[in-house]
Structure 1
Amino acid sequence: MELSVPVIPLTKGVGVLPLIRKIDIDRAQLLMEQSLKHAVQLKLTYLIFDLSGVPLVDTMAAQQIFHVIQSLQLIGVKTILTGIRPEIARTMVSLGTNKEEILVKASLEQALKHTQSIKQLI
């Protein structure tokens, strides 16, 4: 089950979490535990959630994803969501949570460019 939440380091301080298949509530809970653990271990500044392999999330799982993002923010890790399908977008919008705090890019490439441009400013 832990292999279903792999955090892959890309560059110093940047990791990606490629998610594949449906995210149910059990997997979303594991996502919380593992992403926090790996973010600390890898000393991440950014964690990119790539949802391009996820066909659908229910409202409970989408809410859990927002909780993961908020938890990561509390430990100083910024998140970027990529690869959001229209069906997932509708579910996330229907929750009515504050999405202004969430950085979204269309692709993993755009997310990487964003992290690199921020590093150049520092």
Structure 2
Amino acid sequence: MVPITKGIAILPLIGEVDTERATLLLEETLKKANELKLSHLLFDLSGVMIVDTMVAHQIFKIVDALGLLGVKTILIGIRPEVAQTMIQLGIDFSKITIEANLEQALLGLNLTIDTLG
């Protein structure tokens, strides 16, 4: 997890996510979000090539758990093939904020790279 500015961090997820990694990701993300006193976490999925039902379920668990801590999660960087798989799996993303990339997510938070210094 990389802090961007006060209360905002990005979590780039890269590679394959198996059950063990997903469990560790949930635990560490919650701990670090609490330590950093985050209000927003940008969850970058651009490095994830494959999403199956388990990975999607883990992403929802992380988003839900962060919500209980008062952290709003924004998913960014979903690849076209991952988006297609998620739709085929029937996953409902209506309650999750999704942006195409980091720049759009920052603009949605009224931040730009220039204001971050």
TM range, smaller chain: 0.7 to 0.9
Partner of 2:56: 62
Q: 2:104 aligns with which of 101, 107, 110?
A: 110
Partner of 1:92: 86
Partner of 2:115: none
Q: CA deviation at 1:44?
A: 0.3
Partner of 1:32: 26
Looking at structure 2, the residues matched to 49 and 23 of structure 1 have their Cα atoms a distance apart, in angstroms, of 14
The number of aligned residues is: 111
Q: CA deviation at 1:33?
A: 0.6
State, as a whole percentage, how many aligned pairs show the same letter.
54
Q: CA deviation at 1:97?
A: 4.6
The reply to whether residue 41 of structure 1 matches residue 35 of structure 2 is yes
Partner of 2:6: 12
Q: CA deviation at 1:89?
A: 1.5
Deviating beyond 2 angstroms after TM superposition, the runs of 4 or more aligned structure 1 residues are 90-98
The reply to whether residue 50 of structure 1 matches residue 39 of structure 2 is no
Q: 1:99-119: CA deviations, max 9, x gaps?
A: 2110000001111111226xx
Aligned-pair Cα RMSD in Å: 1.5
Higher helix share goes to which structure? Answer: 1
Looking at structure 2, the residues matched to 51 and 78 of structure 1 have their Cα atoms a distance apart, in angstroms, of 16
